[in-house]
Structure 1
Amino acid sequence: MVPVVQLFARDVPRLEFPAGKDVLQLVWCPLIHPEDPAGAALPRLYWRNETETETVAAGLLRDIPEPGEGEYEEDFMPRPCTVSPTPAVEYPKWDLPEELRQALLPRLRELEERFGYWYSEVASALQNKVGGYPAWTQPPNWPHCARGHRMEHLLSVTGEPGYGRWLPLDEHRPGDTQPLWQSPADPAVLDTLGPDMDMGDAGGIYIFLCCQCPDLPYAHRFDCH
């Protein structure tokens, strides 16, 4: 298993952690798995306590774990990078109820004429994120837990495509007049940001959590263009 995301409660104050836990870790296996729609991944989610983790681990790993023997997807091997959280307001993309979409059409058309972007292009950020809404590139596919509860979106891990990339404020260059999701940032700079994965042409792995069940079951979905 290779590490994909590690978040501390202090990094994401709006995310509710289980009692006594303050670390969220996501790992997955980059080897080829025919039974998984992504071909690779098979994510595993762990909630931990930072103090206990440091005691058990007896220090930090010096080297990133590498996959064992077997065929693996290089696009599912994340490049080491750091987290710099930026809050953002999102709205349902393809999950927007059709009745509401029809009611909002005049307003949406007005916004498109004003800014040059249709609602579905900017409602949800197709980026690595916590919470918010899945930026589905295919029809929505929400998982349900074994007890029938529809799960909530917890994490998105995407390929971070260079085109249409949503830029946090601290990466937005002074004087830029384009919207944050179309900032003309230096491509050489963009290539150094994020985990450097390209999962199926602007694809992503979405992690879902059932907060209604005490054992917090989780599931994942994969979609791409």
Structure 2
Amino acid sequence: MVAVAQLYARDLPELLFPPGRDVLQILWCPLIHEGDVSAARPELYWRSEHETAAAGAGLLAEPPQPYEYDEEFVPQPSTVSPTKVVEYPNWDMPPGLSQTLEERFEAFERRLGASYWDVATTIQSKAGGYPGWTQPPSWPDCACGRRMEHLLSITATEPGYGRWLPLDEHRADSRKPMVLTEADPAVFDAIGHGMDMGGLGGMYFFVCRTCPGMPFSYRYDC
């Protein structure tokens, strides 16, 4: 297994952690597992930072490299700087609503030079919001019958321009609208974790907050 993401409750106050847990970890086996989808196989863990630190004497300073792996599912070491944003539904828009709002979408594009469908939902690693589906939506249902909630996305793509790029990473000399501004060349090559994930794919994680233990499921989308 390789470590993919570790998030702390103190950095994500909007993300609801289970009682007594304040660390979220995503790991996966970096081999491509054949089946309904051909991708890595993930696991999700909720932990206590205090309990983890107390057991830290036996932990390795550097995680060992996997003996066997597919390189496209092994992340480069990186850090995250959480940026709070508001997303709107794209593929997940209720049936018929896009036709009702069509004139507004056209006016939006004329004013800003960008399509609503390109800026409503970001396709990048994130907590909360909507999955950035590239295929038709496939929300999992929990064993209790309820549709699960999107918790987290790990995607191969990270924004190099536009609305989803943090403000301090935009080109300072750009005269384009914010939704079209490119990243500062000084930071562009440092963006992201370096995984292709099967050709710019994404792994979306879902949880059921009603059931004990907060069961999770995932979808691979490419």
TM-score (norm: length of structure 2): 0.91
Q: CA deviation at 1:75?
A: 1.1
2:153–2:204: 8 Å Cα contact kept in structure 1?
Answer: yes
Q: CA deviation at 1:160?
A: 2.1
SS at match of 1:5: strand
Q: Distance in 2 between matches of 1:181 and 1:96?
A: 21
Of 189, 195, 199 in structure 2, the residue corresponding to residue 201 of structure 1 is 199
Of 96, 104, 107 in structure 2, the residue corresponding to residue 99 of structure 1 is 96
SS at match of 1:30: strand
- CA displacement 1:105-154 (0-9 Å, x = unmatched): 11001101111222111111111100000110110000111111111110
Q: Residues 4, 56 of structure 1: CA spacing in aligned structure 2 closer, same or farther, 3 A cutoff?
A: same
Q: Distance in 2 between matches of 1:82 and 1:25?
A: 14
Q: Distance in 2 between matches of 1:40 and 1:62?
A: 28
Q: Residues 99, 162 of structure 1: CA spacing in aligned structure 2 closer, same or farther, 3 A cutoff?
A: closer
- Within the alignment, does 1:152 sit opposite 2:149 as a pair? yes
Q: Partner residue of 1:171?
A: 169
Q: Which moved more, 1:96-105 or 1:158-167?
A: 158-167
Q: Partner residue of 1:47?
A: 46
Identity %: 56
Q: Which runs of 5+ in 1 are unaligned?
A: none
Of 126, 130, 134 in structure 1, the residue corresponding to residue 127 of structure 2 is 130
Q: Distance in 2 between matches of 1:36 and 1:51?
A: 38
Q: Residues 11, 140 of structure 1: CA spacing in aligned structure 2 closer, same or farther, 3 A cutoff?
A: same
Q: Distance in 2 between matches of 1:196 and 1:50?
A: 27
Q: Partner residue of 1:121?
A: 118
Q: CA deviation at 1:188?
A: 6.2
Q: Which runs of 5+ in 2 are unaligned?
A: none
Q: Residues 42, 36 of structure 1: CA spacing in aligned structure 2 closer, same or farther, 3 A cutoff?
A: farther
Amino acid at match of 2:191: L
SS at match of 1:141: coil
- For residues 1-225 of structure 1, what are the structure 2 equivalents within 5 Å? 1-35=1-35, 37=37, 39-58=38-57, 61-69=60-68, 72-161=69-158, 166-180=164-178, 182-187=180-185, 189-224=187-222
Q: Distance in 1 between matches of 2:123 and 2:63?
A: 26
Q: Residues 177, 200 of structure 1: CA spacing in aligned structure 2 closer, same or farther, 3 A cutoff?
A: farther
Number of aligned residue pairs: 221
Q: Residues 76, 182 of structure 1: CA spacing in aligned structure 2 closer, same or farther, 3 A cutoff?
A: farther
2:205–2:219: 8 Å Cα contact kept in structure 1?
Answer: yes
Q: CA deviation at 1:202?
A: 2.9
TM-score (norm: length of structure 1): 0.90
Q: CA deviation at 1:222?
A: 1.0
SS at match of 2:93: coil
1:3–1:65: 8 Å Cα contact kept in structure 2?
Answer: no
Amino acid at match of 1:31: L
Q: CA deviation at 1:59?
A: 6.7
Q: Pairwise CA RMSD of aligned residues?
A: 2.0
Q: CA deviation at 1:180?
A: 4.8
